[in-house]
Amino acid sequence: METMTPRKNISILDISLTSGGAEKVISLLLKELVNDYNVTLILFYNEIHFPIPSEVDTIILSQQHPDRISFPKKLLHAFGFLFKYHKILRKRKISHAISFLAFPNLINGLVSPFNPKTKTIISERGFPSDNTSSKLSLYISKIFYPLLYNRCDSLFSNSVYINQDLQTNFRIRIPMDVIYNPIELPKETIASETLLTIKEPFKVINVGTLNERKNQKMILGALSKLGSGYELTILGSGPEHDHLQEQIQRNGLMEAVFLKGRVKNVNTFLRESHCFVLSSFTEGFPNALLEAMAMGLPCISTNCLSGPHELLHDNKPLNIEKGFFFKASYGILINNDDEIALAKALEYLKNDPQARERYSALSLKRAKAYSLENIYHKFNNFINH
């Protein structure tokens, strides 16, 4: 008679489960983790956007909404969270305590020495040197990252460049690996051959928070150089909304550019488009780009750190001249904030049906490597080895 090995008890720690990239990754991984582990999800605040599987035991440490709490109170909360979290790990006999994002990672580092039977695994999701709000914040990070991250057992991120930055600029010495963001492949995608024949306008789409980092104003600048025959839809909200609206009016683009705000049916908009543009100055790993590829859209992206180079060109060496675009393995890459190169890339895709079809098919092929099944297999191996 076979003896079944008891399931391990693992925990996932995050600030909340709001509508961010890290939170979406957690929500997807939970769907698979419940098949292999007893899973406890621990959230600092009661802000939940993504569904949580019923098998997951969810613990919320504060019922307050983080946006309604002052900074001094958040500091006080941090001490309370620390002791509550430590108690949960001990009481539930957690074998692997996994955290996402900087603050939860620091908490994991603080409790690690007091839980020797628990392996602490942390996940960095953004490019650390460019993911801080001020010089003071960067200075503090350079003190506490090496002090507390190095107390943990291992680290995984979603880009080779993030790991390099952690090693070079933050002196992180624990074992690291790269596990890219997973995606649930959509059931309905664009048939690549349908892009051979399209009617004007040439429909361009961007998805992301409206902020300086996402740099949607570069797309508006490129469109102003191209004239008629193009239409841009931007999905997302944020502090740059009014500035973008002013730029739209100033450049006479009111009939060609549409700011739709946050929407739930993103895939519907993607399916109705002809091209996706990622205009960011920096990324951790661009979920929006991957989701557009999974839909079958030809994609243009800035060669920002980190993610696009890995997604669109397998991290192979490249050189992009200013004012020109690069035909990468799975899409088109341009330099950061290069309106001229973006205008040329858009004109190229608009006027070349075969290029649209080819890059659509390549997008669909590439996205399969990031399927939830494939990424979870790597994640599960990482946890156990």
Residue 187 lies in a domain: no
Percent of the chain with pLDDT over 70: 97
Pair 45, 138 in one domain: yes
Q: Are 152 and 102 in contact (CB under 8 A)?
A: no
Range of the domain at 204: 192-368
Residue 3 lies in a domain: no
Whether 3 shows a pLDDT value over 70: the answer reads no
Q: Are 217 and 210 in contact (CB under 8 A)?
A: no
Pair 311, 162 in one domain: no
Whether 1 shows a pLDDT value over 60: the answer reads no
Q: What are phi and psi of 97, to 5 degrees?
A: -105, 110
Q: Which two tokens stand for residue 16?
A: 């909340």
Residue 1 lies in a domain: no
DSSP letter for each residue of 140-196: HHHHHIIIIITTSSEEEES-HHHHHHHHHHH---S-EEE-PPPB---SS---GGGGG
Binned at pLDDT 50, 70 and 90, residue 5 comes out as confident
pLDDT, one tens digit per residue, over 329-345 is 999 999 999 999 999 99
Of residues 355 and 227, which shows the higher confidence score?
A: 355
Whether 126 shows a pLDDT value over 90: the answer reads no
What's residue 129's pLDDT?
87
Whether 71 shows a pLDDT value over 70: the answer reads no
pLDDT, one tens digit per residue, over 307-331 is 999 999 999 999 999 999 999 999 9
Pair 352, 378 in one domain: no
Residue 46 lies in a domain: yes
Q: Are 328 and 224 in contact (CB under 8 A)?
A: no
Q: What is the DSSP letter of 145?
A: I
pTM (2 d.p.)? 0.90
Pair 171, 226 in one domain: no
pLDDT, one tens digit per residue, over 149-159 is 999 999 999 99
Domain count, the chain: 2
CATH number at residue 178: 3.40.50.2000
Pair 173, 202 in one domain: no
pLDDT, one tens digit per residue, over 238-289 is 999 999 999 999 999 999 999 999 898 999 999 999 999 999 999 989 999 9
Pair 319, 244 in one domain: yes
What's residue 135's pLDDT?
76
Pair 31, 77 in one domain: yes
